[in-house]
Structure 1
Amino acid sequence: MKMPLVSVICTTYNHEDFVDAALASVARQTYPNIELIIIDNASTDSTLSRVDLFCQQNPHAQRIANAWNKGLCSAFNQGLALAQGKYVIDFSGDDILIPSRIERQVAFFENLPEDYGVIFSNALYIDATGAPGRFHYPVDATGRVQIQIPTGDVYKDVLERYFICTPTMMMRRSVIEALGGYDESLTYEDFDFWVRSSVRYMYAYQDEVLTHKRVLPESLSGKVYQPRSGMLQSTFSVCNKAYDLNRSQEEFDALALRIRTFIRKCFYAQEFELAIRFRHLLNYIEDPGLPTELIVFLCRLRLPVNWAYRFYAQRWSKKLTGRRGFDVKFVTNS
C-alpha cells in the first residue's frame, strides 16, 4: 500500500486530564508515516507541561505554545501552515484514536476518486473517565451502522442536519488549503467547513468505529445555549454563506428548515436580536409562517427562558451520553 504522509493537527486547551491519552493514541498508530503538530492555546493548567514531556519522548512531534488563546480556528490554521501531509486530521486533545485508525482511513481514501475531499466514520462517545456511552450512529452486534448515512454529494444533507462526527474526519490537505483554512472569524469550525467544502467536493462514509470522542460538560458543543457565546452568531455567518452557495431550490428549502431550528435556539439562548436577523434571512427564501413568527414575537418580549432550557438540556445530554450497555469489544480490541 502507498504510505502518504498524514498530518495530525492536535489543538489543546486545559486538557490536563486527557492529553496524555490523546497523544499516546497518536503515538500508538499502526501507520508509520505520520507528522504530529500540537498547538496549545494558552492552557492555564498543566496541559502544556504534559505536551512538552510527550515531545521530549517523541522528538519528531512539533509543538506550538500560544501566549494567548487565539481560538480553535486560528490554532488549527497555525498547524495547517506547518503541515506537509497529503491528508490531515483535526484532532482534539481530549479524544482518542484507535490504533489502526489512520492505517484504515488512508487505505480507504487512497481507493477513492480525486473529487472526494473528505472521509468520515462512526465514533464511540466516552465520558471523562473513559467509560463508553452511545455510538454516534447506531450499530448492530458486529459494529456496522444500522441507518443510511449520506455519502457523495452531501451538501444538501449538511444544510438539513448535523450528522458528521467531526473528530472522525480525514481531509485532503489540498482541499483545506483551497478553502483558505478555517474561517478565523468564527467561534467553531465544522459547520462552516462542511458547507464550504461539500459544495465543491465529495464526502465518503467509512463504516467503522475508529475514534473515541470524549463528551464533557464544558465541551464547545454544549455552549450553543449560553448567551453571547458566539456560537449562534457564527452559525448566522455560515447560513449567509450557504445562501450564496446554494445551487437549487431543494438546497434553499433545506437551508430554510435549518434556519427555523436556529431561530428556536436563539430564543432558548436569549439571543433575541440574532433571532430577528435569522428571521430576515429566512424571509429571503420563503414566508416564515405563523409558528416561526410566534417564536420571533416571544423573542421581542425578551423572556428569561435560558436557565430553564439549559437545565433541561443538561439532563437530556446526560441521558443520551450515559452508558447503555453496548458491547464494545470490537472497538476496544481494534
Structure 2
Amino acid sequence: MDAPLFSIIVPTFNVADTLPACLDSIARQTCSDFDLVVVDGGSTDRTLEIADSYSARLSGRLIIHSGPDRGPYDAMNHGVELASGAWLFFLGADDTLYADDTLTRVATFIREHDPSDIVYGDVMLRSKSSRYAGAFDLDRLLFEQNICHQAIFYRRELFAGIGPYNLRYRVWADWDFNIRCFSNPAVVARYMDMTIANYNDVSGVSKKEDEELKKRLPVFINVSVSEMFRRELSVWRKLIRMRRNRDH
C-alpha cells in the first residue's frame, strides 16, 4: 500500500473526556489520504478504548501505541518513528481540526507550492475566540513567539535532517525545533492564509501532561531546563542583532 500524504500524530494521556471531539474532527475529513498515529503515555482511563473505537471509521488507517514516555515531546518523537506519511502534523487531544476540508485545502496548497519543507497556517484560540495568525520568519520566532504546533505541517525527512524534539526542553521543544528549521537556509517554509485548528490554550492536554510530569520530577530540573532554553535563545538573539548590524 502506498504511503499516505499525511500522518496525524496525537499524543494522549488520560484524555477520555476530550479525545472524541479531536478524533471526530479527523475522521470527518474530506481528504482520506492520511493515517492517524495515537501515541499514549499509559492512560488509566478510557482513552485507549475510545481511540480503538475509531478503527472501523478509519478503515486501517489507525495506529495506536501505548507505553511509558517522558512527556508530550517524547510521545511526539515516538509518533514520528511510527508515521509513514510524507507530511507530519501534530494535534493535541483536546484540539480539533478547524473544518472538514482542512486536509484537502492543505493538500492543494502543497501541490501548488512545491518544493516546500514546512507549510503552516493559523489557529483559532479558545481563550479569545480569535485567530493566532500571520507569517513567521526567524526574527519573529526569536524575538516574538512560536508557531503553534497545531498549525504546522512538516515534511517527514526534516526530522532525520534537523533531528528529533530535544527532550531537555519540557515545554519549548517545538519552539527549539522550529528555530533549528527556520535558521537552516535549505529549509523552505511557506505560510498558508487559512485556519488549521481550534487550539485549546485554556486547559490544553500538554498542560495536563506538564502537571503530571511535575509530580514525578524534581522542581530543580524544571528550573534548570527553563533557564537553559532561555540562555540559548539569548545567544540566538545576539547573533541576529550582530547580523543586522553587519548588514547595515
Q: Which residue of 2 aligns with 1:119?
A: 119
- Indicate the RMSD between aligned Cα atoms, in angstroms: 3.1
TM-score, scaled relative to structure 1: 0.61
Amino acid at match of 2:191: Y
Q: Which residue of 2 aligns with 1:108?
A: 109
* CA-CA distance at 1:181 after TM superposition: 1.6
The question of whether the paired residues in 2 share the 8 Å contact of 1:243 and 1:252 is answered with no
Deviations 1:199-251 (A, max 9, x none): 11233221112211123336546979x99386664444344555676794426
2:151, 2:220 → 1: CA distance? 25
Q: Which residue of 2 aligns with 1:89?
A: 89
* CA-CA distance at 1:155 after TM superposition: 1.4
Q: Which residue of 1 aligns with 2:228?
A: 237
Structure 1 residues 73 and 163 mapped into 2: Cα distance closer, same or farther (>3 Å)? closer
* CA-CA distance at 1:183 after TM superposition: 1.3
* CA-CA distance at 1:4 after TM superposition: 5.8
Q: Which residue of 1 aligns with 2:241?
A: 250
> 239-248 vs 206-215, which deviates more?
239-248
The question of whether the paired residues in 1 share the 8 Å contact of 2:124 and 2:197 is answered with yes
Unpaired runs of 5+ in structure 2? none
Structure 1 residues 195 and 14 mapped into 2: Cα distance closer, same or farther (>3 Å)? same
Q: After superposition, where does 1:221-236 map in structure 2 within 5 Å?
A: 228=219, 233-236=224-227
Dislocated runs of 4+, deviation >3 Å: 56-59, 216-224, 226-249
Q: After superposition, where does 1:128-277 map in structure 2 within 5 Å?
A: 133-137=129-133, 149-151=134-136, 154-188=137-171, 189-200=173-184, 201-217=187-203, 220=206, 228=219, 233-242=224-233, 248-250=239-241
Report which structure shows greater RCO (CA 8 Å, sep ≥6): 2
2:57, 2:4 → 1: CA distance? 24
Deviations 1:89-129 (A, max 9, x none): 01111111121111111221233343x422221221237xx
The question of whether the paired residues in 1 share the 8 Å contact of 2:142 and 2:237 is answered with no
Structure 1 residues 53 and 87 mapped into 2: Cα distance closer, same or farther (>3 Å)? same
Percent identity among equivalent residues? 21
Structure 1 residues 247 and 202 mapped into 2: Cα distance closer, same or farther (>3 Å)? farther
2:237, 2:114 → 1: CA distance? 24
Q: Which residue of 2 aligns with 1:20?
A: 20
Deviations 1:275-329 (A, max 9, x none): xxxxxxxxxxxxxxxxxxxxxxxxxxxxxxxxxxxxxxxxxxxxxxxxxxxxxxx
Deviations 1:147-177 (A, max 9, x none): xx334xx112111011522211111111122
Structure 1 residues 84 and 219 mapped into 2: Cα distance closer, same or farther (>3 Å)? closer
2:240, 2:163 → 1: CA distance? 28
Amino acid at match of 2:241: E
> 240-249 vs 89-98, which deviates more?
240-249
* CA-CA distance at 1:88 after TM superposition: 0.6
1:251, 1:54 → 2: CA distance? 52
Amino acid at match of 2:228: S
**Residues 1:6 and 2:23 aligned together:** no
Aligned residues: 231
Structure 1 residues 105 and 205 mapped into 2: Cα distance closer, same or farther (>3 Å)? same
Amino acid at match of 2:111: E
Unpaired runs of 5+ in structure 1? 138-148, 254-334
